[in-house]
Amino acid sequence: MKVGLFVPCYINQFYPKVAIATLELLEKLGLEVGYPLNQTCCGQPMANSGYEHLTGSTNELFTQNFAGYDYIVSPSGSCTLHIKDHLHSDKVPAEAKNIRSNIYELTEFLTDIMKVDSIKASFPYRVGVHQSCHGQRGLKLAQMTELTAPAFSKPEQLLKMVDGIELVPLTRADECCGFGGTFCVAEEAVSVKMGKDRVADHIKNNAEYITAADMSCLMHMEGILKRQKSPVKVVHIAEILNAAMV
């Protein structure tokens, strides 16, 4: 099984440790993981701003980079969803279609494809799980509180296999953090207020760490935590699942 690792642009540049954890996790499962060096971005920042018509070249580049892999895995629900919904190629439409159906966000790849049922990792802290909207409502990584339907959560299913971890319940289980791509600067006031409220929910419920399957939400919340000089930290779920045993 050939797996292509797709690392979102901002993770590549700002959070390499998240990509390293993702790569190591996949390698531990005995997978052959390729990392196309020419990858840049999924094109979502343009598309969500109303410029999807400008994403032709990033689409072609993406398709070129990831054609030929059995699966494409990414530590981001949001970027994965964008590719799933919007990747098109005029040059090789069949390849783009393949990628759309074979791209997986990391946690769903672990639960649904690899059927992971045990994880050798230890993270002895109180952790609040932030459900990023595109992962949850877009990729259906977890049940949504709006619906009358049975509960499940792929990220939590994995986290519960981690030694010593204590998941803290939140008052609002799946409210948006307010990052929203360019929304975070275009609607700065509301974006920050949403982030402050989300962070406050985790703090109120005694979380030491906030985790998520999307680093963009965490980057936004980390920015607020740091400005508030809070001791609470953010950590990507891949880092927890890849944490060494103690």
Shorter beta-carbon distance to another protein: residue 14 or 163: 14
Shorter beta-carbon distance to another protein: residue 118 or 146: 146
Shorter beta-carbon distance to another protein: residue 149 or 244: 149
- Closest CB 207 distance from another protein, rounded Å: 19
d(CA 228, CA 173): 23
75: which 2 tokens? 């530590």
- Coil, helix or strand for 37? coil
Shorter beta-carbon distance to another protein: residue 128 or 180: 180
- Closest CB 60 distance from another protein, rounded Å: 8
167: which 2 tokens? 């998941």
Shorter beta-carbon distance to another protein: residue 189 or 246: 189
Q: Which residue(s) pair with 166 in the sheet?
A: 126
- Closest CB 177 distance from another protein, rounded Å: 8
d(CA 159, CA 123): 9
- Closest CB 37 distance from another protein, rounded Å: 6
Spatial CB neighbours of 63, under 8 Å, sequence gap ≥ 6:
87, 89, 91, 92, 95, 96, 99
d(CA 132, CA 164): 24
- Coil, helix or strand for 170? coil
Cβ–Cβ under 8 Å, residues 201 and 178: no
- Closest CB 213 distance from another protein, rounded Å: 15
